[in-house]
Structure 1
Amino acid sequence: MTKRIFLILAVLWFSHTYAQKINYTLSFPNINHHEASISVTASGIPAGKATFRMSRSSPGRYATHEFGKNVYDVKAFDQTGASIPINRIDGDVYEVPKQNGTVRVDYTLYAAWADGTYSGVDPASIHLNMPSAMMWIKGFDKAPITVTFNIPAGKNWTIATQLKPTDDPLTFTAPGLQYLMDCPTKIGNLHWKKWNITNPDGKGYEFRLALEAETTDTVAGSFAAKIKRLVEEEQAVFGETPAYDYGTYTFIASINLYVEGDGMEHRNSTMISLPFNFTGTNDQLEVFAHEFFHNWNVERIRPKTLEPFNFEKSNMSNELWCAEGFTQYYGELLLCRSGLKPIDGLMGSLTGLIYSKEIAAGAKRYSPVEVSRNAVFVDAGVSIDRTNYPNMYSSYYPYGGATALALDLSLRSKFQLTLDDYMTALWKRFGKTEIAYTVPGLEEVLADVTHDKTFAADFFTRYVNGHESFDYAPLLEKAGLRLKKQNPGKAWLGQVQYEEGTTKISSNTIINTPLYNAGLDFNDVIVQIDSKLVARPADINEIIATHKPGDVINIHYKHRDENKTASLTLAENPGLAVVTFEQAGLPVTNEMKTFRNSWLGTKVNRQ
């Protein structure tokens, strides 16, 4: 091919691509019954067949979903408005067999589940997660997009979104499909609060809270001030906020009884829904701390396994222990640093993290990398059959958080470094450059930060790619914190749940616990222990309380219609608790106070 021909073809290709446009119009004529009428028009596309579809996954969610189930009355039209054929070729895929370069598809969306994954259309407000709402045309991911929202007549509503605004307050744009799908949108009676944050380079960004809640302007303002405090504390970890695409970051928050509980991070915003009455108290801030940390860790410091995001199926990831787990750790830590969570309250959070790594059966058998891969099934995935997750899975949120805690304490004790130093290095290498990372890449950065390849390789071998136990106790003591057994010397049957008011086991029994080793599992009914009849869980607890670990007892149970007897060896309750030395009545040295303040104290000069 000659250079001239190549240039001509390149110009033709560019002109053709540039002419392609996607336009969405959303209207709500049947809002009382949770329906939206949506039109998507594709123009400038090659004549012939065109395929439209609904997504099966959503940014920030890692499991597969069936958004196509809530789409119906699908019709197609040409540029004159004349009806043309459209065929449903799969559950969520529609094909226009023939079109001449412009085609419009209209459909009805039913939306009645307002959270970070799904959508909700209601006379009180409109709540949109784009993958659950927007049908898209295959093959034109880069085409520029315009979205127009037709607000119902008589509604003095405002629109909260990270879509780019235009001169028309009802019309917004996106550079392509990936960005559109990452743009949650809330339309309703919103309390707006705004503030500015400046980075060390002098560039400032506007932060916005768009709050759907029954509250006063004063209380909303006080709540926004707390969020600002969190933003500043999280900025201090990395030294700067990201350069937001259109100069703004938006907290889209619904805190009321009419949404479902969720928090979902996005590139320049987060969608938070809490099904509680709004109080503006600190306990409603935890999800804000977690989701905002994501605008560094996962939105920009991004696993390669999530790039590009596939809307037709879920992306399996090896790195969610870092993307979600480290974020889980920092969400709790930064609340404490911000003064929004007392140190005593943090102890319960640290206990939960350590439990997930040291006690949970899945973490004793599988690595953080391995459990991350299960997100394609567990991250709000929907199934009705029973799984064995209690024995082979530990959530990558607290498991990863426990790994972050282990690394933070190790860096502080061995190198006089911190996890903040490591996260900043990840930001500089992978976040600001937006180069997707892998697990080996994370190890390389740890080696660079510590100047110790042996330490980095050992940590990743044992605690990231492996599942060894970590000795938290001596490192926590440096901060005047004590890791102790919660019920030392107490006999224990195993972690188990019963059907309410009965002794019928409703949960999987856990591997290597007394009940599991004795052969009992879900749906078995415990009838006698130590030849004593039991009818309630309290009866079981009373009998076990008279024994000590190591005692061997007889247990009679019914499996389906068969009466069985087993010999069961009681164990010690493995429960743990993290408490401060003050709570334990132990002296706190100046060295402990210094370590604790360096770890848990604010990093922001608020003078």
Structure 2
Amino acid sequence: MKKLYLTVLATAFFACASLAQTAPKPLYYLISFPNAAHHEAEIVLTIPKAPAGKINLQMSRSSAGRYATHEFGKNIYNLKAYNTDGTPLVITQVEGDRYEIADHGDAVKVSYTLFGNWTDGTYTGIDASHAHLNMPATFMWVANVDQGLREVRFEFNDLDKYGWKVATQLKHEGANVYSAPNFQYMMDSPTELSNHKVANWEVVNPDGKKQKINLTIHSTDDQPVIDNFGKMVQKMVVEEQAVFGELPAYDYGEYTFLDDVYPTNAGDGMEHRNSTCIVDVADKVEGNELGLLGTFSHEFFHAWNVKRIRPKTLEPFNFTHANMSSELWFAEGFTQYYGELILTRSAFYKTDDYTRVLGGLVNAVLNTPGAAKYPATEMSRKSVFTDAGVSIDPNNYINNFTSYYTYGGAIALALDLKLRSDYNLTLDDYMRTVWLERGKKMKPYTIPDLQSDLAKLTKDPKFAADFFNRYIYGTEKSNYEALLAKAGLLLRKAQPGKAWVGLSSASTRGRSGQIRVNAATGLAITGSTIIGTPIYNAGIDAGDVILTADGKKITDTTTLNQAVADKKPGDKVQITYTNRAGNHTTTLTLAENTAFEIVTFEKAGQQPSTAQLAFRNSWLSSKVK
């Protein structure tokens, strides 16, 4: 065995040496900011060994962690190409985001201007204070090179000019040069150039290996504020580590939080392999710590669930179109569940805070038409339209879509309580099983794989098959009332006996320009009303303007609610409304609000048993030893 081992080792060494000799030279991006005040960057791509024949250049149409398409190609201009000796080349635009260079030398340079003025997890934002770079939105790439072998290097100019530092998961090669081992890693590496503040610490895995966690925040806060927030993030980090039993092995031994905080930001949170890009809409961190922490908790959980426990449908990620997955109820939904649970275990939330979070999850599956009609798998596939998808025309999502975040979160809640009550197991045990079977091995999964792992954990294949058939592939819903009662939590109607019109804020919160028509004379309905609600059953929908209710003039939702305040469910109210077809009268039959709330037995005036309190404490208490 020893001789065989040495032979294999020698063979591997010579293979690696041969590969090193033949590996292509890195692609090289030089990015400068001579016009940052006007949100522009100048980018030069050097292709040291161009492919034979045509060079196919591409701007991305999708981004890691985002599932809908985005047209990044619209933000580049002044595109030029030339051989390295300066000879101009003909570059032809063949599609909105795709270009070709037919005749060229062995080495080629491509230059262009990039406009970026949208700071979130998807786009690029540039001004004199920072350059917030999401790679697919920033860098044109060569489509017909070997993306798996080709190293990519970046040189960031003008750092001293603006007083910027570099925050990124890219490998620091020295000075202002950074690298990615391949195309996929490059596109998964957001970079923040700014005068950000840093807090960092080490976390030790059970095997004794230490890894560094970096918190970088671009905000107006002083360093002590960032240090204090870092302690909060650190507490959250070790609580999530306890779920899986270990941190992932981060490339280069580091994980970096990139956080940009400013009131005019777009707001976002986007997971990446060894970092996360968080964009907060706040004036500063100080005073907003708890509100910001939820995004950190959710995105850090993705370091396991999504970036390593990875759906096969997203591997490898395709940057030329929307990436559709039926597994987002697990990838995003289970992460949603844990993001809030971790804050409870870390003592940032009190139990009453967490019951309000749970109420949102349960209402999402018990009180939305989408969840009633469609399974979690189908709602996951809707992500190609709903995940920050851009459109002009109105949609009917309120009646045919339930977010896979909350849908999956509610499924995770039910499975956690079911495992605890029936198998003396927990959802933590299940996540660790999936981690060891899939994520740690970087073996992409399918839904049958997730079912198999549940069967293995519970030693009950029949249960696993039943759970997936009913709640994942099917539209049945768990008995949340009975499951929550195990923890001394009560599921009940939020407004029992109160008359309800059924009008959603989404039905009256109009798009720019829509609400001005007739807004002064009545309540404009600018979005779809919800199937089954009193207002829907009365025939009122988008485009209608409610004029009176029960003889009272209606100008907004407040006056509408006042008009029915003394009514009871079952009472009938005459409504007059107008639309482009003329004036109309209809009868609206009031109903009881269908919304649920979750409260502790104690808050409801009931005494939980010792067993119920023990169940709750086991579920919600810290797991850090």
Shift in Å, 1:536: 3.7
Shift in Å, 1:17: 5.7
Question: 2:166 aligns to what SS in structure 1?
Answer: strand
Tell me the residue number matched to 1:223: 229
Shift in Å, 1:534: 3.4
Q: Is residue 41 of structure 2 the alignment partner of residue 29 of structure 1?
A: no
**Further displaced range: 418-427 or 502-511:** 502-511
Output the CA distance in 2 between the equivalents of 1:328 and 1:185. 25
Output the CA distance in 2 between the equivalents of 1:525 and 1:46. 61
Question: 1:193 aligns to what SS in structure 2?
Answer: strand
Shift in Å, 1:566: 2.7
Structure 1, gaps ≥5 residues long:
1-9
1:322-372 alpha-carbon deviations (Å, 9 max, x no partner): 101110110000001011122211121111111111101111111110010
1:213-241 alpha-carbon deviations (Å, 9 max, x no partner): 11222121111011111110000000000
Q: Is residue 496 of structure 2 the alignment partner of residue 488 of structure 1?
A: yes
8 Å CA contact 1:518, 1:568 repeated in 2: yes
Closer, same or farther: CA 536–271 of 1 in aligned 2, 3 Å? closer
Output the CA distance in 2 between the equivalents of 1:554 and 1:275. 43
1:70-93 alpha-carbon deviations (Å, 9 max, x no partner): 000000011212211111111111
Output the CA distance in 2 between the equivalents of 1:415 and 1:19. 54
- Map 1:386-535 to 2 at 5 A: 386-496=394-504, 497-498=507-508, 502-535=522-555
Shift in Å, 1:533: 4.3
Question: 1:73 aligns to what SS in structure 2?
Answer: strand
Tell me the residue number matched to 2:168: 161
8 Å CA contact 2:130, 2:195 repeated in 1: yes
**Further displaced range: 181-190 or 150-159:** 150-159
* Partner AA of 1:118 in structure 2: Y
Tell me the residue number matched to 1:144: 151
Output the CA distance in 2 between the equivalents of 1:535 and 1:170. 59
- Map 1:196-345 to 2 at 5 A: 196-280=202-286, 281-345=289-353
Output the CA distance in 2 between the equivalents of 1:519 and 1:258. 39
Output the CA distance in 1 between the equivalents of 2:189 and 2:534. 49
Q: Is residue 80 of structure 2 the alignment partner of residue 86 of structure 1?
A: no
Question: 1:99 aligns to what SS in structure 2?
Answer: coil
How many matched pairs?
A: 595
Shift in Å, 1:277: 2.0
Output the CA distance in 2 between the equivalents of 1:12 and 1:411. 51
- Root mean square deviation of aligned Cα: 1.8
Question: 1:604 aligns to what SS in structure 2?
Answer: coil
Structure 2, gaps ≥5 residues long:
1-14, 509-514
Shift in Å, 1:50: 0.3
* Partner AA of 2:245 in structure 1: G
1:90-135 alpha-carbon deviations (Å, 9 max, x no partner): 1111111111221110000001111110111111111100000000
* Partner AA of 1:209 in structure 2: L
- Map 1:68-79 to 2 at 5 A: 68-79=73-84
8 Å CA contact 2:159, 2:165 repeated in 1: no
Output the CA distance in 1 between the equivalents of 2:464 and 2:581. 55
Shift in Å, 1:156: 3.1
Output the CA distance in 1 between the equivalents of 2:599 and 2:16. 68
Output the CA distance in 2 between the equivalents of 1:422 and 1:67. 39
Output the CA distance in 2 between the equivalents of 1:506 and 1:476. 37
Output the CA distance in 2 between the equivalents of 1:17 and 1:312. 29
Correspondence for 2:623 among 598, 603, 607: 603
Closer, same or farther: CA 13–96 of 1 in aligned 2, 3 Å? farther
Output the CA distance in 1 between the equivalents of 2:582 and 2:559. 22
Question: 1:285 aligns to what SS in structure 2?
Answer: helix
Output the CA distance in 1 between the equivalents of 2:247 and 2:605. 41
* Partner AA of 2:548 in structure 1: Q
Tell me the residue number matched to 2:102: 97
Shift in Å, 1:429: 0.9
Shift in Å, 1:604: 0.6
**Further displaced range: 575-584 or 88-97:** 575-584
Q: Is residue 176 of structure 2 the alignment partner of residue 189 of structure 1?
A: no
Output the CA distance in 2 between the equivalents of 1:372 and 1:518. 32
Shift in Å, 1:531: 4.5
Q: Is residue 364 of structure 2 the alignment partner of residue 356 of structure 1?
A: yes
Output the CA distance in 2 between the equivalents of 1:440 and 1:30. 52
- Map 1:115-154 to 2 at 5 A: 115-140=120-145, 141-142=147-148, 143-154=150-161
> Structure 2 length as normaliser, TM-score?
0.92
Question: 1:154 aligns to what SS in structure 2?
Answer: helix
Question: 2:618 aligns to what SS in structure 1?
Answer: helix
* Partner AA of 2:139 in structure 1: M
* Partner AA of 1:145 in structure 2: V
8 Å CA contact 1:48, 1:100 repeated in 2: no
8 Å CA contact 2:366, 2:372 repeated in 1: yes
Closer, same or farther: CA 16–205 of 1 in aligned 2, 3 Å? closer
Shift in Å, 1:561: 3.7
Output the CA distance in 2 between the equivalents of 1:359 and 1:257. 33
Shift in Å, 1:12: 14
8 Å CA contact 1:29, 1:152 repeated in 2: no
Question: 2:122 aligns to what SS in structure 1?
Answer: coil
8 Å CA contact 1:75, 1:107 repeated in 2: yes
Question: 2:162 aligns to what SS in structure 1?
Answer: coil
1:16-74 alpha-carbon deviations (Å, 9 max, x no partner): 96124311111111111111000111122333210111000000000000000000000
Question: 1:183 aligns to what SS in structure 2?
Answer: coil
1:459-487 alpha-carbon deviations (Å, 9 max, x no partner): 11111111113211122122121111011
Shift in Å, 1:570: 2.2
Output the CA distance in 2 between the equivalents of 1:118 and 1:254. 13
Closer, same or farther: CA 93–425 of 1 in aligned 2, 3 Å? same
Question: Could you tell me the percent identity over the aligned residues?
Answer: 48
8 Å CA contact 2:129, 2:162 repeated in 1: no
Q: Is residue 75 of structure 2 the alignment partner of residue 54 of structure 1?
A: no
Output the CA distance in 2 between the equivalents of 1:96 and 1:550. 70
Shift in Å, 1:503: 1.8
Question: 2:524 aligns to what SS in structure 1?
Answer: coil
Tell me the residue number matched to 2:118: 113
Output the CA distance in 2 between the equivalents of 1:14 and 1:48. 24
Output the CA distance in 1 between the equivalents of 2:30 and 2:597. 54
1:248-272 alpha-carbon deviations (Å, 9 max, x no partner): 0001111222422111100000011
8 Å CA contact 2:128, 2:162 repeated in 1: no
Question: 1:506 aligns to what SS in structure 2?
Answer: coil
Output the CA distance in 2 between the equivalents of 1:529 and 1:476. 39
Output the CA distance in 2 between the equivalents of 1:23 and 1:251. 25
**Further displaced range: 361-370 or 475-484:** 475-484
Tell me the residue number matched to 1:5: none
Output the CA distance in 2 between the equivalents of 1:240 and 1:345. 28
* Partner AA of 1:154 in structure 2: K
8 Å CA contact 1:162, 1:268 repeated in 2: yes
* Partner AA of 1:158 in structure 2: K
